[in-house]
Amino acid sequence: MKNKACFILFLLVCTLNVTAQNKIRVYGYVIDTNNRGIELANVYFENTSIGTSTNKNGYYELMTEIGDSATLVYSMVGYKTFKHTLYPKQKILQISVELPSESKEMNDIEVIAQRRQSSTLDYLDPTKLRLMPNSSGGIESLLITFAGVSQNNELSSQYTVRGGNFDENIVYVNGIEVYRPLLIRAGQQEGLSFINPDMVNSVAFSSGGFDAKYGDKMSSVLDIDYRKPVKTEASASLGLLGASAYVGTANKKFTQMHGVRYKTSAYLLGTLDTKGEYSPSFVDYQTYLTYQLKPKVEFTFLGNFSQNSYQFVPESRETKFGTYNMGRNLMVWFEGQEKDLFRTLFGAFTVNYKPTNKTKLSFIASTFHTNENETYDILGEYELSEVKMDLKEENKKGAALGIGKYQEHARNRLKATVANVAHTGEYNSGNHKLVWGTTLQFENISDKISEWEWRDSAGYSLPFSDKMVKLYYNMKAETSLPSLRTTGFIQETYKKNFDAGFFTVTGGLRANYWTYNKELLISPRVSMAFFPHWKRDFSFRFASGVYYQAPFYKEIRDTLTDASGNVNIALNSDIKAQRSLHFVLGGDHYFRGWGRPFKFTTEAYLKLADRVETYTVDNVRVRYSGENDAKAYTAGVDFKLYGELVPGTDSWLNFSLMNSKEDIIGDSYINKIYDDDRNVISIEKIYPGWVSRPNEQRYSVSMMFQDYLPNNPKYKMNMKFIWSDGLPFGAPRSVQYRAAYRAPAYRRVDIGASRVLVSGTDKIMEKKWLKHVKNIWINFEVFNLLDFENVNSYFWVTDIYSHQYAAPNYLTSRQYNVKLLVDFK
């Protein structure tokens, strides 16, 4: 099977299209006298209709059949026209030209301001990465292109940014904050994220130090804009992991988009150590409608319905771990099942009013509702045994080190409604831009939790008591939380061109008040950028501000343990928002290497946090302590090289270093020192001090590389590579061993090879039944190409000597996927 798959991949990448042998391919760059690419320049063959426009990097590409000679014309408003005559002796020609300016009075700085990053917000064109291998199916997989972003679970669309957790990232779609289900605890349950990649127009992202107009989170902001179709368009895709369909139409006043997605991860889950019947089913429908009532008035509506259904009947699990000299094998036999259902509804109605060319006003009303049910009863019987060093598989099993049982039970139900009305405005007078907004939000959450875990080791219930049977873990809650939240912001951007360079500064103030804890948050933020008038193209930026993690329902759940060891949840009305002071210093260097455009980015950052809530991470579930019980800091530096390693394609390489520590206030443990006869000779109280935070990744390397066959660009290859530090972990409910260990590094290589069939150039597309098809992409993907064993979390077991072992829960192994994408005319 493995050899066949590799052979298919080889054929897909290396086969040449014989129909293209009579054609010539011409490509290159159109640049100005400052060595910058000219966007939207016209490149065409004289006296023909064959032509194209350059992209933002000045790149163009043409394929045609020509005779003895042909003349290429390069033109752009404001630049002198250039002509070049070809006498082709080769099938592939690279021609780059420099267009001088027609007017010496052109204001170059306006071009720079449009194309250069003037804040911590960076942008990405999602259409260029449509074929990137992606096992989760969400656009969040693209975020590894941004500095400081880490993803350590291919089953999940969640991501961490510069030491933060999943809940510290805020997501906007068309300026409206969107939410995800609250009960999800594993990537297997997660399904589809809110964002539909088929409907996305632009992606903007900031890893910290973002403007005041963005909400109260401490790590990052993802700002997505859905596009407005200008004509009828449609696409569909089908693969082993799901399917999707999209259609958009437009007329003079009305535009509409509709997208349907279906995902099933059963194929991927079959590679996990735990074998059984996986039945995940995830369905999502979205629509985006716009209506231009008058030239100055527009109505829009964004709607979404999603349902995640996850059913699982486990059968057995076998996990080998340890070292070569001290190997261990964990075997588990299961009974029972898990049934989860998550349904969400979202709707947002917006009125956009533009009274003048300088002023924009928006009025928004939106509602989000989620109904979540998590139920499972799973009984497991396990055996922990030695693994002998023997070449024969049948002789490797050694003596049993521990046997036991455990049972996990849950009946968790949560309903949440978030409804708000908001107003945003913008006034742009050229060098000055004023932005403001205010929101009134109602939140109503009801939660019923009943979950417990019982463990038995060698006939003794854990934790052992000779007076009663104790549960290893249990939690109960029945809570309701209605509340109001108001937010507001104002920010001003000022731009000025000096002799030394172009300067821009943005300052803003954000306020947040929540009726539940009666806390008013004031968040001042500032960012500035400088583009010096140097011969070499550099830019510099700095951002700072006070950022709060405004508490939501999960953060205020405080756990109270009674005398019998039962854990109950009480909502902590005294909780305060976590607070972080950000400093971000960065710069970009734009240059051309081998005639192609590149950008090298460096960003250093420091985050000082107090009123921190400690938390633990299990898979994708974040459990908070429910108290402001720590202080923390995070410092690091990110490097990114972005550019066209292959002409006309974007590739990048990221490298990050980070140090993230926290100090829990008042935590301690007793350390006993024994003599040779196991008698206690001294007792010492230890204060751990600064320890690694749960999402501290000391280093991370990621790369995305795109390529194609030079003589036939219809054959493309995309490769994604991640190598990042393992996350800290420790024994459960142990102060002494909190973050005492570290998981192995997360390593993963995904690769995809594709072939596009284009209407008008491929003979098969001349079929009558394909007359409405524009393109057909055939994509073959290999996930985890090198079959690395990545660890997601740990299951702790105890042997007959009362030694605890952390049995790793491995993620998916190598897997293949075939996907068909069709674009309709």
Residue written as token pair 């070569």: 324
Alpha helix segments (H runs only) across 171-300: 187-190, 266-269
Using the Cα atoms of residue 244, residue 189, residue 140 and residue 716 in order, give the sign of their dihedral: negative
Side by side, the strands of the sheet bearing 200-206 are 122-124, 200-206, 220-226, 169-173, 176-177
Long-range CB contact pairs, 81-84, < 8 A, 24+: 83/46
**Is the distance from CB of 445 to CB of 368 less than 8 angstroms?**
no
Q: What is the DSSP string of 670-720?
A: EEEEE-TTS-EEEEEEE---EEE-TT--SEEEEEEEEEEETTEEEEEEEEE
pLDDT at 327: 85
pLDDT at 132: 86
DSSP assignment letter at 15: -
DSSP assignment letter at 295: T
| Closest to 197 in 3D by CA, of 142, 153, 264, 240 | 142
The count of other CB atoms within 10 Å of the CB of residue 817 is 19
* Distance of alpha carbon 247 from alpha carbon 126, whole angstroms: 18
The count of other CB atoms within 10 Å of the CB of residue 232 is 12
Beta bridge mates, 194: none
Those residues whose C-beta lies under 8 Å from the C-beta of residue 492, and which sit 6 or more positions away, are: 432, 433, 434, 435, 506, 507, 508
Token representation of residue 784:
């985890």
User: Mean pLDDT of residues grouped by 10 in the chain (825 residues)?
Assistant: 49 42 78 84 88 88 82 88 82 86 51 57 81 82 82 87 92 91 81 88 91 92 92 93 94 95 88 90 95 95 94 92 83 93 95 95 96 93 84 73 87 95 94 95 93 74 58 83 96 93 94 95 96 91 95 85 72 93 95 89 96 86 88 96 89 94 88 80 86 93 91 91 92 76 93 92 87 92 93 82 83 92 92
Token representation of residue 541:
């930026």
pLDDT at 15: 43
The count of other CB atoms within 10 Å of the CB of residue 757 is 19
* Distance of alpha carbon 681 from alpha carbon 36, whole angstroms: 74
Q: Is residue 9 classed as helix, strand or coil in its secondary structure?
A: helix
Those residues whose C-beta lies under 8 Å from the C-beta of residue 594, and which sit 6 or more positions away, are: none
Q: Is residue 321 classed as helix, strand or coil in its secondary structure?
A: strand
Opening angle at CA 419, ends 415 and 425, nearest 5 = 150
| Closest to 187 in 3D by CA, of 816, 820, 809 | 809
Q: What is the DSSP string of 37-51?
A: BPTT-EEEETTSS-E
- Relative to beta strand 615-618, strand 651-664 is unpaired
Token representation of residue 485:
């939240």
Model's pTM, two decimal places?
0.86
pLDDT at 458: 58
**Residue range 554-609, pLDDT digits in tens:** 888 887 776 666 777 888 999 999 999 999 999 999 998 888 889 999 999 999 99
Distances (CA, A) of 688 to 692, 735, 804: 11, 8, 21
* Distance of alpha carbon 131 from alpha carbon 129, whole angstroms: 5
pLDDT at 103: 57
pLDDT at 104: 46
The count of other CB atoms within 10 Å of the CB of residue 807 is 21
* Distance of alpha carbon 409 from alpha carbon 521, whole angstroms: 40
**Is the distance from CB of 24 to CB of 66 less than 8 angstroms?**
yes
- Relative to beta strand 233-239, strand 242-250 is antiparallel
**Is the distance from CB of 437 to CB of 213 less than 8 angstroms?**
yes
Token representation of residue 634:
């995070």
CA trace torsion 547, 553, 554, 558 (10° rounding): 110
State the burial class of residue 313 (Cβ atoms within 10 Å of its Cβ: 0-12, 13-18, 19+): middle
The count of other CB atoms within 10 Å of the CB of residue 303 is 15
